[in-house]
Amino acid sequence: MNQERLVQTFLTLGIIDSVSGNELHVARDIQSRLHSLGIQSSMDDAGTSFGGNAGNILARMEGTIDVPPVLLCAHMDTVQSTKGLKHIRENGIIKSDGTTILGGDDRSGVAIILEIVQTLGEQQIPHGPIEMLFTVCEEAGMHGAKNIKRSDVEAPYCFVFDCQASPGAYIVEAPGAVAFDVAVHGQSSHAAVSPEKGIHAIQIASRAIAHLKLGRWANTGMLNIGTIHGGTSINVIPDRVDITGETRNADEHELKSQMEYIRTTFETAASEIGGKVKIDFKEKYHGYSFSENDPIIRIARKSIEAAGLIPTPMKYPGGSDANVLNRKGIPTLNLGVGFKNAHSFQECIDVRHLVIAADIGLKIVEQCSMRKLS
């Protein structure tokens, strides 16, 4: 690996402002870099589905040996703006000056993929075809990945560079997520003159929420109430409360059970007080899990060991493009890159971790180049 080139690519990409839905400038930069390496790329129409100004970039580097392709993936958007980003490098750590995020999530992944393909060409390392996917709008709901079809890529396996765990870690379980909206209906009445005529919507909502098991469910699941809005005046019994929340679980059956649990809890509370509820669930993304015997895990473990590290499986409660791509029928593993404090102004990355993560990616290509399709 050319460490300084990798770092410089990361720094240059970081100062290109491209929050979710506004990735066009960084997309053009990536395509220009690929073109200079003789790699053709194309942009799909994913942005039109959510009002963005760019789509996913799909690219392919032809192989030098006849083995199945491998797909490498990272996302182009950042959760907040990096406009005005000023990098600080101290003791091998890269961070911002504290006035913006660093954008390590996921410019580190993009830089790693670009360095891998450049190194393969420069060092004439034998390899199969390398497919690349740079997605848009991952941070706002994986909207770019949701536009991908299984037929868009040939690779039997995909590796995503988008986890803030240290290199050597990989996510074997991540939950699916469902958002929900609850409309609690009561009956308004004057709270002082005729309270007995009212049905208190806030009381219904409060009773239901008090009975819910909020917080962690199983290894990576959860249940949370996010917002509550209701009432009009302190002397009026409120006739409506609107509630939003989310529940997650890696097991699809368990996730459906949690949804039914939420529905039953609210309906019971409403029935006890005399009101009604309307609950709408909206699927955000599906969960997934791997076993240590799955081929993609064996590839990752051998590659991590070849890089001199101990493979570390993780069960992670968050979502990523891996959730969506696995659901599309593309076995996808999210790998630790090492950026820390993601989504905050304290975000940072150790240069050593950036280099090691890139080396693991290179080892993955080499492992895939030694395998026939399992």
φ/ψ (deg, to 5) at 66:
-90, 85
| 323-to-20, 107, 269 alpha-carbon distances in Å | 18, 19, 34
Task: Considering the candidates 17, 44, 138, 251, report the single residue annotated as catalytic.
Answer: 138
The total of other beta-carbon atoms located within 10 Å of residue 199's CB is: 20
**Are 285 and 255 within 8 A, CB to CB?**
no
Contact of 106 with 130, CB cutoff 8 Å: no
Helix ranges (H only) for 173-251 are 201-211
**Catalytic site includes residue 294:** no
Cα angle vertex 262, ends 257, 263, to 5°? 95
Instruction: Note whether 248 and 177 are within 8 A (CB).
Output: yes
Catalytic pick among 17, 23, 77, 173: 77
Per the CB < 8 A criterion, the answer to whether 239 and 188 are in contact is: yes
- Rounded to 10°, the helix 24-36/104-122 angle is 10
- Is 162 a residue of the active site? no
Q: Which amino acid is at 265?
A: T
Q: Are 221 and 247 in contact (CB under 8 A)?
A: yes
Tokens (6 digits) for 34: 């690929």
For the CA atoms of 304, 332, 253, 271, what is the dihedral angle to 10 degrees? 110
List active site positions.
77, 138
